[in-house]
């Protein structure tokens, strides 16, 4: 096998060398790269060195470009450093391995890799006339609850072609390596090293994207779930990120979710350290650096005790100075247009995970469920949401919790509070993905066992509209969308493309989309029925605000 691997490597080196001789580098001039539409590779000069991209599915793709040095060993829990420059042409043909993580939900794969700061660039393959103008840029941050995921889960060709844009994805440190604070770590960046990885990639894009035909003055920062929350973190850190992006897309993440202070969260890092025998403050850092990745990941899982928000970055550092609610309410965020929203039935996915793990959600234990999630307000919630005893009870419960839950940043009323506060300063376009026909089993969660209730438009179900066959795995093997779902997905993607180009979402067949305000100003994307609606009324946000005023702004 080693001989065959060597032969394959040599073939790529020979190909790249041949292309380098045959083609001029087009650093900054996208029209030159389109001269290679019938060949196998194109060369781009970056600040680190030359990279060779390859044509796939009608787009030119560069996979596995290093933007940061290894974050293993003594670079654990340190600021990321730019990748070392290289001399030869780097064949950017394959995705690199994901950052260190455990296998999750019977879907994602384990990784022990800490040399993982790589990014990918995809751009349309088109004629010289079309390529003469710089294309807008989309920088996508993957999700994964801050503990998993990879840039290799996403097919970028469809988005690049249909949005006529340059699309960039990146890897970043996860879990205990990227989002865990500890007293032994540097105070200025404690608990925010993954955000710094993302910012290093964003600076790389700003410096290099013109070489790929992208417009460094028209960059949209986008993400879903933990990726959306990361976009929020960059929005509320203007001293660190202003000028690195010009629009933002937030998919299923509430920017005003109540973050925890770094001083409060250091105890979490200390709990992880105790789990692995590194409790001595004098030696904790070196001791933690000596442990293998999976030992630390398992310790982080044990210390988190099932808290989905355990690895949400803490505030109170230079990386993240303020909490989201404080920053946005006071107007201290990057002032750019925002496309903001989520899926209609977000939390049905997490209830389905629980059912697959053996937990029961029934009308008989409804009172106990409400007490666990809403404490002293359980009776008021039950009165407002008198759910039936039908087999659809878990589905109804998941949608109810999607309206609001105080302990998780995936809920509609906090999405809308984000929109309300941001819209005082910038245009915010609010949306909701409501395709209850889109596949979830075997896509957002394992196909078996079937949880036995309708999953609806669950968390992450919108991703197939932008990244075909997204399956939360490197296989990218989800089934194609139905014709009805595909038609709606095309319209949704067209509005995203319009926003990416102009800052205003619009598309044929989609009602005129006004910036967020009182009443019916949001768009609900439902197959055959894309319409304007009033999300605050639909999700009973006045009721939830009356119960939990501290989670919302006072004015």
**pLDDT tens digits along 3-14:** 223 223 334 343
Distance CA 284, CA 182 (A): 9
Q: What's the mean pLDDT in 448-454? A: 94
pLDDT at position 104:
83
Give pLDDT, residue 40: 58
User: Which run of H or E residues covers position 293?
Assistant: helix 293-304
What is the C-alpha separation between 328 and 322, in angstroms, rounded? 9
Query: Binning pLDDT at 50, 70 and 90, where does residue 107 land?
Result: confident
Q: Give residue 390's pLDDT.
A: 82
Instruction: Please measure the distance between the N-terminal and C-terminal CA atoms of the chain and give it in whole angstroms.
Output: 66
Q: How many helices (H) and strands (E) does the chain have?
A: 20, 13
Q: What is the pLDDT of residue 391?
A: 82
Summary mean pLDDT of the chain: 91
The tokens for 170 are: 């990146």
| Statement: residue 183 has pLDDT above 80 | yes
Instruction: Report CA-CA distances (Å) from 519 to 35, 94, 430, 443, 533.
Output: 51, 48, 12, 34, 8
Q: To the nearest whole percent, how much of the chain has pLDDT over 90?
A: 87
Interatomic CA distance for residues 127 and 31, integer angstroms: 8
pLDDT digits (tens, 9 = 90+) for 29-80: 332 333 333 345 799 999 999 999 999 988 999 999 999 999 999 999 999 9
Distance CA 504, CA 375 (A): 41
At 131, is the pLDDT very low, low, confident or very high (cuts 50, 70, 90)? Answer: low
Between 27-31, 87-91, 125-129, 220-224, the lowest mean confidence (pLDDT) is in: 27-31
Computed on alpha carbons and rounded to an integer, the radius of gyration of the chain in Å comes to: 23
Query: 435: which 2 tokens?
Result: 């395709």
pLDDT tens per residue across span 188-197? 999 999 999 9
Q: What pLDDT, on a 0 to 100 scale, did the predictor assign at position 484?
A: 97
- Model confidence at 514: pLDDT above 60: yes
- Tens of pLDDT, residue by residue over 147-176, are 999 999 999 999 999 999 999 999 999 999
Confidence of residue 132 (pLDDT cuts 50, 70, 90): low
> Smallest Cα–Cα separation from 405: which of 427, 385, 430?
385
| Cβ contact 395:454 at 8 Å | yes
Mean pLDDT of all residues in 500-519: 96
Q: Looking at residues 519-528, what average pLDDT do you find?
A: 97
pLDDT digits over 262-318, tens only? 999 999 999 999 999 999 999 999 999 999 999 999 999 999 988 888 999 999 999
pLDDT at 352 over 90: yes
Three-class secondary structure of residue 41 per DSSP: strand
**pLDDT at site 126:** 66
Choice between 29 and 225, residue whose per-residue pLDDT is larger: 225
Q: What is the pLDDT of residues 387-441, one digit of tens each?
A: 987 889 999 999 999 999 999 999 999 999 999 999 999 999 999 999 999 999 9
pLDDT in tens, 462-504: 999 999 999 999 999 999 999 999 999 999 999 999 999 999 9
- Is the CB of residue 356 less than 8 Å from the CB of residue 417? no
């Amino acid at each position: 096998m080693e001989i065959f691997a060597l032969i394959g490597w040599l073939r790529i080196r020979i190909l790249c060398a041949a292309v380098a001789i045959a083609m001029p580098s087009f650093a900054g001039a996208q029209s030159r790269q389109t001269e290679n539409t019938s060949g196998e590779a194109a060369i781009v000069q970056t600040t680190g060195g030359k990279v060779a991209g390859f044509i796939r599915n009608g787009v030119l793709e560069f996979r596995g470009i290093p933007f940061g040095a290894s974050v293993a060993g003594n670079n654990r829990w340190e600021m990321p450093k730019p990748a070392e420059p290289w001399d030869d042409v780097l064949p950017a043909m394959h995705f690199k391995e994901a950052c260190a993580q455990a296998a999750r939900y019977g879907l994602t794969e384990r990784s022990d890799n800490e040399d993982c700061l790589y990014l990918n660039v995809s751009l349309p393959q088109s004629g010289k006339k079309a390529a003469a103008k710089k294309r807008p840029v989309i920088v996508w941050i993957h999700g994964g609850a801050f503990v998993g995921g990879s840039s290799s889960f996403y097919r970028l060709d469809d988005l690049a072609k249909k949005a006529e844009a340059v699309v960039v994805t990146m890897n970043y440190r996860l879990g205990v390596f990227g989002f865990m604070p500890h007293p032994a770590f540097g105070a200025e960046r404690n608990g925010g090293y993954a955000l710094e990885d993302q910012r290093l990639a964003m600076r790389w894009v700003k410096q290099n994207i013109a070489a790929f035909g992208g417009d460094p003055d028209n960059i949209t920062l986008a993400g879903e779930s933990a990726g959306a929350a990361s976009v929020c973190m960059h929005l509320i850190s203007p001293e660190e990120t202003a000028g690195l992006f010009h629009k933002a897309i937030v998919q299923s993440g509430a920017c005003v979710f109540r973050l925890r202070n770094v001083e409060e969260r250091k105890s979490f890092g200390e709990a992880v350290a105790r789990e692995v025998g590194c409790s001595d403050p004098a030696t904790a850092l070196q001791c933690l650096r000596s442990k293998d990745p999976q030992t630390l990941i398992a310790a982080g899982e044990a210390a988190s005790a099932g808290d989905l928000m355990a690895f949400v970055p803490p505030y109170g550092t230079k990386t993240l100075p303020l909490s989201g609610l404080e920053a946005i309410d006071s107007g201290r965020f990057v002032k750019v247009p925002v496309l903001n929203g989520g899926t209609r039935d977000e939390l049905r996915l997490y209830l389905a995970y629980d059912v697959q793990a053996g937990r029961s959600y029934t009308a008989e234990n409804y009172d106990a469920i409400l007490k666990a999630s809403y404490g002293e307000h359980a009776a008021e919630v039950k009165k407002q949401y008198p759910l039936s005893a039908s087999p659809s009870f878990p589905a109804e419960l998941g949608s109810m919790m999607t309206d609001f839950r105080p302990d998780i940043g995936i809920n509609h009323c906090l999405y809308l509070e984000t929109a309300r506060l941001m819209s005082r300063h910038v245009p915010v376009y609010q949306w909701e993905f409501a395709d209850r026909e889109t596949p979830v089993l075997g896509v957002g969660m394992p196909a078996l066992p079937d949880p036995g209730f309708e999953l609806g438009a669950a968390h992450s179900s919108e991703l197939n509209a932008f990244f075909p066959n997204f399956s939360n795995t490197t296989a990218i093997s989800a089934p194609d969308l139905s014709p009805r779902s595909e038609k709606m997905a095309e319209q949704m993607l067209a509005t995203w493309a319009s926003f990416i180009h102009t800052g205003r979402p619009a598309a044929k067949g989609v009602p005129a989309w006004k910036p967020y305000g009182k009443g019916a100003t949001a768009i609900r994307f439902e197959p055959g029925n894309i319409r304007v609606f009033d999300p605050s009324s639909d999700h009973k946000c006045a009721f939830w605000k009356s119960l939990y005023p501290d989670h919302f702004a006072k004015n």
